[in-house]
Amino acid sequence: MLRAWCAFCLLLVAAAASAAGVTVSDAWLRAPAPGQAVAGVYMTLTSTDSAKLVGVRSDVAATAQLHRMSMQEGVMRMRRMTQIDLPAGQAVQLAPGGLHIMLIDLKRALKPGDTVALVLDIETAQGHHENLAVEAAVRDLGGQPVHMQAPMNMPMNMPMNMPGVSH
């Protein structure tokens, strides 16, 4: 129960972070398959003023890079990006099959329910760099969030037609 509560609290932290007028929401990554040493990180970034995401780092990986997936001549290709523009007032989605952060040479196994600390390097329109700390929740291979488990004393075979309870 305590683990589920801690996971829930960490998800709240991951829900929104902000600095330099940039807000991050729904930061997550898919748990890598066993033996994989890479993971994609996804989130939504919104900036009040024009800015750029120009870098990222994380202690769980030797390298963290900005990437874009795109279809070219019927083949899905991944390209490294030097920056991701954050237009003022527009939500920028980092999502599977598009823009994302790639963690390379993972230093430890990541499993659903874990969190990963990231530091985003945001360049403002004035050329200043600000760090934005983000906690990303590790989801299952299907990208689904980890749900809170039922308390140990709650029967899992409760009847669905309980008197006085509407469904």
The CA distance from 77 to 101, in Å, is 15
Measured distance CA(162)–CA(117) in Å, rounded: 44
Query: Domain spans of the chain?
Result: 2-139
Strands 129-139 and 22-30: parallel
Q: How confident is the model at residue 88 (pLDDT cuts 50, 70, 90)?
A: very high
Q: Whole-angstrom Cα distance, residue 78 to residue 106?
A: 19
Asked which of 63-77, 87-101, 107-121, 148-162 is least confident by mean pLDDT, the reply is: 148-162
Of 34-43, 70-79, 117-126, 137-146, which range is least confident? Answer: 137-146
> Which of 7-16, 47-56, 110-119, 138-147 is least confident?
7-16
Alpha-carbon gap, residue 41 to 102, rounded angstroms:
6
Q: Which residues contact 47 (CB under 8 A, 6 or more apart)?
A: 20, 21, 22, 23, 86, 87, 88, 89, 90, 92, 122
pLDDT averaged over every residue in the chain: 83
CB 133 within 8 A of CB 119: yes
**50-59, 105-114, 132-141, 144-153: least confident range:** 144-153
- What is the CATH code for 2-139? 2.60.40.1890
What is the pTM assigned to this prediction?
Answer: 0.76
